[in-house]
Amino acid sequence: MPVSVEQIMNLEDISSVAKLVAGHGGIKNQVTFVTISEAPDFYQWVYGGEFVLSTLYAFKDYPELRATAYRELAKRGVSAVAIKTKRFYDEIPADLIEIANEYNMPLFEVERETKFRQIIQAITAELNNEQTNLLKEVERHYQELAEAALIGGDYDQLVRGFGRRRKCNVLCFRADNLLVGSYVPKAREMDIAVVQDQIVAYQRQFGEIMQNITLTGWHVFPCITRGQAIGYLMIADPSPLTEKFALMAKQLTTFLTLKLIDQLDMEQRTLTALFDDILFKHNLTEDELRERLALHGLKRTGFYRVVVVQQANKISDVADDGSFRTVCGKIRTALGEALLINKPDEAIFIAAGQQADGDSLLAGFKKLDAEILSSEAPFCIGIGPAVANAREIHSSYLIAQSTVRAGTAFEQGGIHYYSEFLARILLLRTTDTAENKYLQEVVIAPLLAQDLRYNTQLLHSLGALIFADDLEAAASALFVHINTVRYRLNKIKQLTGYDFFTAKGRYTLTTAYLMHRFVQ
């Protein structure tokens, strides 16, 4: 326990020379330091918790400053004041007694013959003894945590020591709000769902918890690694944590973080192995795959679906990108029941649910589109088709991945539904063919050369025409007159030999342009 004024006043070396005369209501005040005040502005240099010794020498010639100075000491939270009388003041002034009682700041009268050194030594010894005891108990807590970790103890074993010492409920959640460990004495049973709701409500308002915070009746310590919170230690206590318990909480958070890292790494290795089997082990039966998915908590209730998330600019490892993780969290919330496989360059969701392909599914994802596009680092999300069987998950993945590639080729980022890109996805299969090489040489190369030499923007105009409903819409998108569009189309015909207004010409020019976007 912290050293209180009451403990100090009961020390023999103190009780024999000092008498409490006022501020009796503050004897439980915590003492952190002992100091001497003989300056009128001494209050400016205190932090709170000081046991202040004084002879009032600073005020013998300036009594009008006395009350202001001691009121400021009380306001700033000094633990107690001891004044030696019969030196400069025969007795403690009435105004100081009044202030001490008003602020519950214990005020002692010290005998004239007493050396302040005697009081300082007694208080310092008690503080040092308390600090030694604190460090010993913190060390015992650390050894308990280390022993539990070495024998592979579970989360309950890790949190038990802290909860037993503090006599309070202690919980450990993963970042996905799954409760993994707890110490809940029977006398303090609680509704875990209420605590989970508090975390979710805070995250919705302020985002990821990255530093120690207090919720209603709780102290929350995030378990952080690689710039992300992977779990939370939650301590049920409305009062502030003392130095000892704050140190113990930090120790516990460290061990919980290490255990969470091991658990999450193991889960990811297992999920990655499962996903590799889905992709490459074609001899696995439908029942075998469903059983393995169910072991990870993914029970098919209708359809499976794969969603792939990539950074559009590929500027960093996705595992280290905070905004990428935030986007993945939003995608996971939208999907509901889903497994997440993190790879160096993409995140893969395998979802299960009743919802098949349709407008309602697409509408749900489109609600996130503006939010995702507003991120500093743009992302591309490919939504694969719903499949009825686990053996078809690999098809949903390949189509979702191709959708991302097609979306990245034509957009900066955002959410893309596979059906919007099927025709373009098919062209991806022909990027390394002789036919594509020919199209690039006879169609794209002349347009690029013309644009480079004369800044004519023929290739850009061709792209606008392909995705526009008519010439007028293309002209509007290009911010030019419709006659300019007609002129550019005629120039494209002269350079390539293909007329955009014929079926063959439009198909050839469109195919060449799309292939160019895929391979550039």
pLDDT (0 to 100) of residue 297: 84
Cα three-residue angle 472-474-480, rounded to 5 degrees: 80
pLDDT band at 367 (very low <50, low <70, confident <90, very high): low
pLDDT (0 to 100) of residue 315: 46
pLDDT band at 332 (very low <50, low <70, confident <90, very high): confident
Partner residues linked to 338 by β-bridges: 351
User: What 8-state DSSP symbol labels residue 477?
Assistant: H
| pLDDT of 4 above 80 | yes
Q: Which residue has the higher pLDDT, 142 or 354?
A: 142
Distance, in Å, from the CA atom of 68 to the CA atom of 95, rounded to the nearest integer, reads 10
Distant-in-sequence, close-in-space partners of 325: CB < 8 Å, separation ≥ 6: 208, 228
92 φ, ψ (degrees, to nearest 5): -70, 125
| pLDDT of 149 above 70 | yes
Superfamily the domain 281-416 falls into: Reverse transcriptase/Diguanylate cyclase domain (3.30.70.270)
Structure tokens at 357: 């392909």
Q: Which residue has the higher pLDDT, 450 or 414?
A: 450
pLDDT, tens digit, 9 for 90 and up, residues 202-233 = 877 887 788 999 888 899 999 998 888 899 99
Q: Which residue has the higher pLDDT, 357 or 136?
A: 136
pLDDT (0 to 100) of residue 321: 58
What is the CATH code of the structural domain delimited by 434-519? 1.10.10.2840
Cα three-residue angle 21-27-30, rounded to 5 degrees: 135
Distance, in Å, from the CA atom of 441 to the CA atom of 435, rounded to the nearest integer, reads 10
Q: Where are the beta strands (DSSP E) in 76-227?
A: 80-84, 107-110, 170-174, 179-183, 213-215, 218-225
pTM: 0.61
5-127 belongs to CATH 1.20.120.530:
no
| pLDDT of 42 above 80 | yes
Distant-in-sequence, close-in-space partners of 295: CB < 8 Å, separation ≥ 6: none
Secondary element (H or E) of residue 340: strand 338-343
Q: What is the mean pLDDT of the chain?
A: 87
pLDDT, tens digit, 9 for 90 and up, residues 278-318 = 999 888 899 999 999 998 888 877 789 999 998 765 544 55
pLDDT, tens digit, 9 for 90 and up, residues 453-505 = 999 999 999 989 988 889 999 999 899 999 999 999 999 999 999 999 999 99
504 φ, ψ (degrees, to nearest 5): -65, -45
The percent of residues above 90 in pLDDT, for the chain, comes to: 52
> CB of 352 within 8 A of CB of 338?
yes
Q: Which residue has the higher pLDDT, 319 or 163?
A: 163
308 φ, ψ (degrees, to nearest 5): -115, 135
Residue type, 488: R
pLDDT, tens digit, 9 for 90 and up, residues 175-203 = 878 899 999 886 666 778 888 888 888 87
pLDDT band at 145 (very low <50, low <70, confident <90, very high): very high
User: What 8-state DSSP symbol labels residue 308?
Assistant: E
Distance, in Å, from the CA atom of 425 to the CA atom of 86, rounded to the nearest integer, reads 96
CA dihedral 359, 361, 364, 369 (to 10 degrees): -80
pLDDT (0 to 100) of residue 203: 79
pLDDT band at 129 (very low <50, low <70, confident <90, very high): confident
Structure tokens at 459: 């290739």
Following DSSP, what letter does each residue of 438-506 receive, concatenated? HHIIIIIHHHHHHHHHH---HHHHHHHHHTSSSHHHHHHHHTS-HHHHHHHHHHHHHHHS--TTSHHHH
pLDDT (0 to 100) of residue 373: 56
**Domain definitions of the chain by residue range:** 5-127, 152-262, 281-416, 434-519
Q: Top-level CATH class of 152-262?
A: alpha beta
Nearest C-alpha neighbor of 351 from the set 359, 343, 339: 339
| pLDDT of 376 above 80 | no
Torsion sign across C-alpha atoms 121, 123, 125, 128:
negative
pLDDT (0 to 100) of residue 219: 94
Partner residues linked to 446 by β-bridges: none
Compute how many other C-beta atoms are within 10 angstroms of the C-beta atom of residue 424: 19
Q: Please, what's the largest Cα pairwise distance for the chain?
A: 114
| pLDDT of 452 above 70 | yes
Distance of alpha carbon 391 from the chain centroid: 35
pLDDT (0 to 100) of residue 131: 76
pLDDT (0 to 100) of residue 78: 95
pLDDT (0 to 100) of residue 490: 94
pLDDT (0 to 100) of residue 407: 80
Q: Where are the beta strands (DSSP E) in 372-474?
A: 379-383, 414-417
What is the C-alpha radius of gyration for the chain, rounded to an integer number of angstroms? Answer: 36
Mean pLDDT of 249-258: 95
> CB of 309 within 8 A of CB of 334?
no
